[in-house]
Amino acid sequence: MNFLSSIFGAGVRARNALYDRGIVRTRNVQGPVVSIGNLSVGGSGKTPFVLVLGELLTARGVKFDILSRGYGRRTRGVARVDPGGLSRDFGDEPLLLARRLSVPVIVGEDRYEAGLFAEKSFGPQLHLLDDGFQHRALARDFDIVLVTPEDARDRLLPAGRLRESLTSLSRADAVVLTSGASPQSFPLNGKLLWRVRRGISVTNVPARPVVFCGIARPQSFLLQLRTAGIEPVAQALFRDHHAYSERDIQDLFKLRQQSEAEGFVTTEKDAINLGGFLDALQPLAVIPVKMELMDAANAVDTMLRMIAERRAGREKIGA
């Protein structure tokens, strides 16, 4: 293992041990907390999964909010996401969640404080903790972890993309196999196994498009486009969560002219990060990522039942 990765791994193990032994205590909010996270840095599909889980909860009439760090925002502190706001103020993914699900999304570096804010504003309803697997300061009632095939053979940061080793899956309640991940590649030990299908919704795509995006795994998006029969004549790839500037827009127009393209294609997250530049790039097709949870009814039933049982057990002990 890379020397720096060894140091990083030792730090992660030491931190987890402090929580596991109760030396560093977690803090509880009143409502149940469901964490959705992963092992690696970006690209596992956390945001599409929060969307599909949110849609399933909404269909059942379960009221919930979302607690997020608000990665990439220029503001600090706890705030409710304004769906009509800008990604620089709230972060691109929280803004996308707020617009698509029409539920309260609260951003804050301290997710416990974000939870308190949510409960003061909306009552102690269910909280979805976005990107919460490593945020152990907030106690949770159910832990969902998404894994990819790459996770099984990757290394810890900084040599690889893993934020924790595979053995950390012991803390998970449900492991979501994405992008064709094999259960045999992970130490699952009786964990709930959920499978998802990912795809894209393609409509009104310009002929001979320039494809551009700033996401964690752009090659996956390009492959999905080609599978859908869309062959870009040129492409521009930016860093994840890229905030587009006027210079970027000028460069995209030059690329379109040079490649004789007839328009642009990008992701839903990039459309949010374009902000006021969105209308300037017409014709532009914004491609949303779709995720489907297999055996969704049984998965959600099991999650809600386990949460209710655990909370009833704690209340009995407290009594």
In this predicted model, what pLDDT tens digit does every residue of 284-316 receive, in sequence order? 999 998 899 999 999 999 999 999 999 998 887
In this predicted model, what pLDDT tens digit does every residue of 202-243 receive, in sequence order? 888 999 999 999 998 899 999 999 999 999 999 999 999 999
Residue 177 clears pLDDT 70, i.e. is over it: yes
Class of 202-287 in CATH: alpha beta
Residue 317 clears pLDDT 60, i.e. is over it: yes
Residue 319 clears pLDDT 60, i.e. is over it: no
Residue 195 clears pLDDT 90, i.e. is over it: yes
- Topology, domain 11-196+292-308: Rossmann fold (3.40.50)
The full 3-state SS of 300-318, as one line of letters, equals HHHHHHHHHHHHHHHHHHH
Q: What pLDDT shows up at residue 100?
A: 96
Residue 279 clears pLDDT 70, i.e. is over it: yes
In this predicted model, what pLDDT tens digit does every residue of 91-134 receive, in sequence order? 999 999 999 999 999 999 999 999 999 999 999 999 999 999 99
Q: What pLDDT shows up at residue 164?
A: 96
Helix (H) or strand (E) holding 200: strand 192-200
Residue 5 clears pLDDT 80, i.e. is over it: yes
- Name the pLDDT band for 274 (thresholds 50, 70, 90): very high
Any long-range contacts for 112-118 (C-beta under 8 Å, 24+ apart)?
Answer: 112/27, 112/29, 112/137, 112/138, 113/78, 114/67, 114/68, 114/78, 115/29, 115/31, 115/33, 115/67, 116/29, 117/78, 117/80, 118/29, 118/31, 118/65, 118/67
Residue 318 clears pLDDT 70, i.e. is over it: no
Q: Where are the domains of the chain?
A: 11-196+292-308, 202-287
Identical fold at 11-196+292-308 and 202-287?
Answer: yes
In this predicted model, what pLDDT tens digit does every residue of 32-88 receive, in sequence order? 999 999 999 977 899 999 999 999 999 999 999 999 999 989 999 999 999 999 999
CA distances from 123 to 63, 65, 130, 257 (A): 10, 10, 19, 53
- Between 201 and 23, residue with greater pLDDT: 23
Q: What pLDDT shows up at residue 1?
A: 59
DSSP class of residue 44?
A: S
CA distances from 214 to 66, 67, 243, 304 (A): 23, 23, 9, 35
